[in-house]
Structure 1
Amino acid sequence: MSAVVGAVLLVAPKQSAPSTAAPLTTYVFAPPPPAFGPADSATPAPRIDTADPDAGPQPSKVALPVPEGFQRVAGPGGLVTTVPKGWKITRSSGPGSVQATDPADPARHVRYGGAPAPATDLLQSHVDYEAVFAKSKPGFQRLSLGTTQYHGVLAVDWEFEHDSGDVRKHVHSMYWRVDGIEYFVYAAADADRWAETVPIYHALVDNSSP
């Protein structure tokens, strides 16, 4: 099972900036996503690469048992991951993105998917996006934004908080590119429920492929 390794490289100091609301999605490119939903026998099995790990990107071993309380799902761009059982799966507002929402707490959700990657450098594209995003979110505070390794390729780790009305929101996401597709996993919750949401985010990261 793949896991995130490497220290996050910070690229700028923490910041905050008030403004008006904006869509939560961090994707601004790509065509409409393909069909999505729980993975089943109709969903092609993801590649399981047994080659030398130094030879190139390695997908997660998604053939391993699904964590207790989770279900395997297929998302846009061929992404496969796991989300909590019973969470409602819908299309998200961004291209190549779907959302699974906690039925007991609509403020808590995860997003996942993939879409054709832009020509911009992976890290720079998210640094640029954050500069715009931060201005639209009151009380925005970066917790991390930098590079790490995931599945043997460069990835961007982005974690932040912002205010939404009288509630503090916490978000953690990861982005990586394989064969021209930029994939991502993302989890969001009210800050006071983030500690119990961390295992859900880890399940996304640990069970995603490619």
Structure 2
Amino acid sequence: MARRPVSARNPIGALPLALSAAALYTLIAGTAGYLVHLADPTPTGPTTAAAAIPVITTPPPTTPPPTTPPPTKTPLTTTPPSSGITPPDQQRVEAPGGLTTTIPAKWTITTGTVATTLVATDPTSPHREVRLGGAPVTDPSKPLLDRITTAATDREREAGHRRVTLTATTIRNHPAVTWEFDENATSGPKRVATAFWESKGVEYVLYSSGPPDEWEQTKSRLTRMVDAATP
């Protein structure tokens, strides 16, 4: 396990692990108590990333246009379990909640602004970041999709934040949700890909962010983390 220095992150958090850290912590407390770390502490200025959002199809004139894309559901899928072999360009890490996965090698690992999340940044560019962690589900009576949808809806009330997709799926047969969004962070516009899943009363989150023009690389990092993760 990579040793990680303890330092505060100025972003959420993630990913059961895509603003004020204290404010987002309160927002996501209903999901797992740590999703707050998915947001930057002080969104500023007018939205500059909205132009990167795919065009939303306009409903028929008789139907009021939706303000955000509704959650969607995809056929159940299963991500193959990790082979246990860490590629040379990756490093294996252990995160809170019993989560293990791989992240890019030589990225700097710190603790997040909440104890249930780790943060890793690219030493060559602070605009590239991953977050990961897990925490007990605080409201097991509410399905994972409902919890993440509520969190996303609340985030969309803030300037500079726009949902791209929010989709129900599975990860290794666990209930899961993927959430992608654009936001105007203090460091500039970014696009975020997150994956959440629930297993044995714990909600896990993986999060990958980067500049909008690096979306394919950002999303690929999340895919690699999901594929290498346990549980």
**Fold in common (TM above 0.5):** yes
1:208 paired to 2:229: yes
Percent same amino acid at aligned positions? Answer: 31
Cα offsets for 1:119-142 (capped at 9, x unmatched)? 132111111111221223x23221
Cα 1:129–1:193 change in 2 (3 A) is same
Relative to the length of structure 1, the TM-score reads 0.70
Cα offsets for 1:13-72 (capped at 9, x unmatched)? xxxxxxxx33377843449xxxxxxxxxxxxxxxxxxxxxxxxxx996334321330011
Read off the aligned partner of 1:152 and give its amino acid letter: N
1:93 paired to 2:113: yes
1:154 to 175, 193, 198: 175
Residue 156 (structure 2) aligns with: 134
In structure 1, C-alpha distance between the alignment counterparts of 2:157 and 2:122, rounded to whole Å: 28
Residue 172 (structure 1) aligns with: 193
Q: Which runs of 5+ in 1 are unaligned?
A: 1-20, 32-57
Cα 1:96–1:166 change in 2 (3 A) is closer
Cα 1:60–1:27 change in 2 (3 A) is farther
Question: What is the root-mean-square deviation of aligned Cα atoms in Å?
Answer: 2.3
Residue 125 (structure 2) aligns with: 105
Cα 1:59–1:195 change in 2 (3 A) is closer
Contact 2:81–2:172 (8 Å) recurs in 1: no
Residue 50 (structure 1) aligns with: none
Read off the aligned partner of 2:104 and give its amino acid letter: P
Cα 1:155–1:190 change in 2 (3 A) is same
In structure 2, C-alpha distance between the alignment counterparts of 1:166 and 1:209, rounded to whole Å: 31
In structure 2, C-alpha distance between the alignment counterparts of 1:155 and 1:187, rounded to whole Å: 16
Contact 1:60–1:209 (8 Å) recurs in 2: no
SS at match of 2:156: helix
Residue 14 (structure 1) aligns with: none
Contact 1:159–1:172 (8 Å) recurs in 2: yes
Cα 1:108–1:123 change in 2 (3 A) is same
Residue 145 (structure 1) aligns with: 166
In structure 2, C-alpha distance between the alignment counterparts of 1:194 and 1:146, rounded to whole Å: 18
Relative to the length of structure 2, the TM-score reads 0.64
Read off the aligned partner of 1:101 and give its amino acid letter: T
In structure 2, C-alpha distance between the alignment counterparts of 1:127 and 1:152, rounded to whole Å: 20
Q: Which runs of 5+ in 2 are unaligned?
A: 1-18, 35-77
Read off the aligned partner of 2:114 and give its amino acid letter: G
Cα offsets for 1:149-199 (capped at 9, x unmatched)? 111121011001022358321001011111110011110112122232232
Shift of 1:91: 0.9
Cα 1:166–1:97 change in 2 (3 A) is closer
Contact 2:206–2:226 (8 Å) recurs in 1: yes
Contact 2:193–2:218 (8 Å) recurs in 1: no
